[in-house]
Amino acid sequence: MTSDRLLGIAFVLAAALGEAVGHVIFKNAADRGHRPEGILASLRAALAEHGHIAGGLAAFVLDILFWTLALKFLDVSLAFPLSSLSLIMVVFLSRLWLKEKISPRRWIGVALILIGTVFVGLS
């Protein structure tokens, strides 16, 4: 495996982590907000009460930057399937940070995603 390919994979992993962190931060903010009527009112309440939403936005900006760097070193046909690792990261982060319960069926799904990602990565 070339150093460019390894660097590209590292950037994909960094992008996936940025995406996963962003999703978990937004979920945390949404769960803590009031439940006013209407979608726009809910959004305003979440933004007003939770300054850490900026952290979620920052995580997505990092995701975009790392993703762009990854595409400099990898074909998109390889990078995109590897980005499915963000799904796995979301499960782990939601379990650790949000204390969500993860069903055995979901853990099986995580294992299947991981197996598929390994097959794509080795191709």
**pLDDT tens-digit readout, 62-75:** 999 999 999 999 99
Q: Tell me: pLDDT of 110 over 90.
A: yes
Q: What b/e sequence results for 17-35 when a residue is b if at least 16 CB atoms lie within 10 Å of its CB, and e otherwise?
A: bbbbbbbbbbbbbeeebee
Give me the pLDDT at residue 35, please: 62
Contacting residues for 92 by C-beta, under 8 A, at least 6 apart: none
Domain boundaries, the chain: 3-122
pLDDT digits (tens, 9 = 90+) for 80-101: 999 999 999 999 999 999 999 9
Average pLDDT of 118-122? 82
Q: Say how many C-beta atoms besides its own lie within 10 A of residue 79's C-beta.
A: 19
Task: Identify which of 10, 23, 27, 12 has the alpha carbon closest to the alpha carbon of residue 59.
Answer: 23
**Eight-state DSSP code of residue 34:** -
Is residue 11 predicted with pLDDT exceeding 70?
Answer: yes
Q: Of the given ranges (5-14, 37-46, 97-106, 114-123), which has the lowest mean pLDDT?
A: 37-46
